[in-house]
Structure 1
Amino acid sequence: MEAIKKGATIQSLQIGMGIVDLIAKQGRPLKFSDIQDLTQITKSNLYKYLNTFTQLGILYRDKESGAYVLGSKLIEYGMIAADQENVVDRITPYLKEINERSLSTVLYSVWTHNGPMIVKEFNANQGYNIGAQMGTLLPLLSATGKVFTTFMDEQITREWKEKELKQTPLEKARQLEEECKLIREKEISFAREPLVSSVSSVSFPVFNYKKKLLGAVTIVGFSELIPHNEEEELSKYLMNISKEISGNFGYKPHVG
């Protein structure tokens, strides 16, 4: 086989990855016209690139808005690169159990440079979905966001947190500060209808043996099914199973 020349590149691949990189860095869904304005690629060529990436799962096109975001294949690659694939495989049976117990959608999210992202969704009752899907970024005031801002290294989350706090009323920002102290102590967080009316969430961290945050498991559903505080039966069950899940990765919670 002929040796690859040093510095030899495939221009069309560079252009294609440039489009993906641009969508990633914008940090928001982009319509065809937005991408064309930013890249100046001809419409016919851009359509071919976007269509190819969508078919491969590199990009995802929302059917209603027509906007493009990063696709599930890139999430899959990112998880493998971050050694998260094994984590998801190991916690999936627990997600199934929690789904059956809570009668609500169960999510697993990991950290990305744009904030917490859903990388696994479990919902046995397919007609009862509350709209969460793989690739969705979750905000600071969601139950998931609260877990990440509490347990993730502040240097890693600072930029995301500052950006989110700009859109947060001062009173809610103060409440969050107090709430994070309780979350650190109890290792469970709650959010009453942070995104959609009548839909609430509860979330708990997944730690490894160094108490490094691997991700967060979140239960999202209609508010009457989701607990308000750690005293409720479902909360107690979640706090117990969270210790069991993290125990699989060597985490030993402090006693007393």
Structure 2
Amino acid sequence: MEAPKKGTTIQSLQIGIGIIDLIAKEGRPLKFTEICDLTKITKSNLYKYLNTLTQSGILYRDKESGSYILGSKLIEYGMAATAEENVIDRITPYMQEINAKCLSTVLYSIWTSNGPMIVKEVNVKQGYNIGAQVGTLLPVLSANGKVFATFLEDQVIDEWIQKELADLSEEKMIHFKEECKIIKEKEIAYAREPLVSNVSSVAFPVFNYKKQLLGAITVVGFSDLIPTHEEEELSQYLIRSSKEISATFGYKS
């Protein structure tokens, strides 16, 4: 999606946000003198900022130590953001853009106890429909399945992987594990789709601010339309899209 246009900003608001960001990143209570040293803000101005942020509940000042920590108001904001965090609504515009760019079906899936399940499909242009519908469970050897096998750490998914790959030879199992290592580094996965012949897929993870896997977006289409390695132009576009989408949930790569 297009980045918002840069315009005039309120400098004092930026400074205030910078103070909040500093305390959050330090991860410990900070005294007035420490904040002053780290921000280089004059003592008179810093006092005004800290007093304003404390009165609003965004920061909390311990009466005994005088140290500042994040306040309850930020917790309220975080809870409100979480409650309103409808992942599908947020990612749908990106999926529509990817569909128009790739001319292929775009899927979003989440993890269930039975494996990755499609919960959203976008195919508004001339994308090829592989017959995968909302509610379809995807196999581990699909690009989508590989994303979950790589980034989701849970006993349930370990059991799913073992079950899915029970008939795989030792050599192919080694290759699968090596491929997962590459996926973890590159944050993009490829596969010749096991569900339909002559169809390939490429998938990338959607992370939240803790780098927890929210789900995976997959592009599925005729093999000649789908990239097979990260150096291709379409792969680079998808990698950029991946980072932009995860950034909307607070993830910083």
1:140 aligned partner: 140
1:169 equivalent in alignment to 2:169 = yes
What is the root-mean-square deviation of aligned Cα atoms in Å? 1.8
Instruction: Describe the superposition over 1:54-79 as per-residue Cα deviations: whole angstroms up to 9, x where unpaired.
Output: xxxxxxxxxxxxxxxxxxxxxxxxxx
Work out the number of aligned pairs and report it: 172
Task: Provide the secondary structure at the position in 1 that maps to 2:86.
Answer: helix
Instruction: Describe the superposition over 1:151-184 as per-residue Cα deviations: whole angstroms up to 9, x where unpaired.
Output: 0013231111111111323332211100011100
CA distance in 1, matches of 2:202, 2:150: 14
Task: Provide the secondary structure at the position in 2 that maps to 1:202.
Answer: strand
1:56 aligned partner: none
2:105 aligned partner: 105
CA distance in 2, matches of 1:96, 1:145: 22
CA distance in 1, matches of 2:117, 2:84: 13
CA shift, 1:131, in A, is 1.1
- Where structure 2 has 5 or more consecutive residues not aligned to the other structure, the ranges are 1-81
Q: Is the 8 A contact 2:108 2:217 kept in 1?
A: yes
1:186 aligned partner: 186
CA distance in 1, matches of 2:92, 2:83: 16
CA distance in 2, matches of 1:110, 1:127: 22
1:120 equivalent in alignment to 2:123 = no
Of stretches 120-129 and 110-119 in structure 1, the one that deviates more from structure 2 is 120-129
Task: Provide the secondary structure at the position in 2 that maps to 1:197.
Answer: coil
TM-score, reference length from structure 1: 0.64
CA shift, 1:127, in A, is 7.7
Quick one: which amino acid aligns to residue 157 of structure 1? Answer: I
CA shift, 1:84, in A, is 9.9
CA shift, 1:193, in A, is 3.3
Quick one: which amino acid aligns to residue 106 of structure 1? Answer: V
CA distance in 2, matches of 1:153, 1:106: 25
CA shift, 1:194, in A, is 2.4
Please show how residues 61-100 of structure 1 align to structure 2 within 5 Å.
86-100=86-100
Of stretches 204-213 and 124-133 in structure 1, the one that deviates more from structure 2 is 124-133
CA shift, 1:85, in A, is 7.2
CA distance in 2, matches of 1:202, 1:116: 15
TM-score, reference length from structure 2: 0.65
Quick one: which amino acid aligns to residue 243 of structure 2? Answer: K
CA distance in 1, matches of 2:143, 2:84: 21
CA distance in 2, matches of 1:224, 1:150: 26
Larger radius of gyration: 2
Residues 234 and 212 from structure 1, CA distance in 2 versus in 1: closer, same or farther, beyond 3 angstroms? same
Please show how residues 49-64 of structure 1 align to structure 2 within 5 Å.
none
CA shift, 1:83, in A, is 7.4
CA shift, 1:132, in A, is 1.1
Residues 209 and 100 from structure 1, CA distance in 2 versus in 1: closer, same or farther, beyond 3 angstroms? same
Identity %: 68
2:215 aligned partner: 215
Quick one: which amino acid aligns to residue 111 of structure 1? Answer: W
- Where structure 1 has 5 or more consecutive residues not aligned to the other structure, the ranges are 1-81
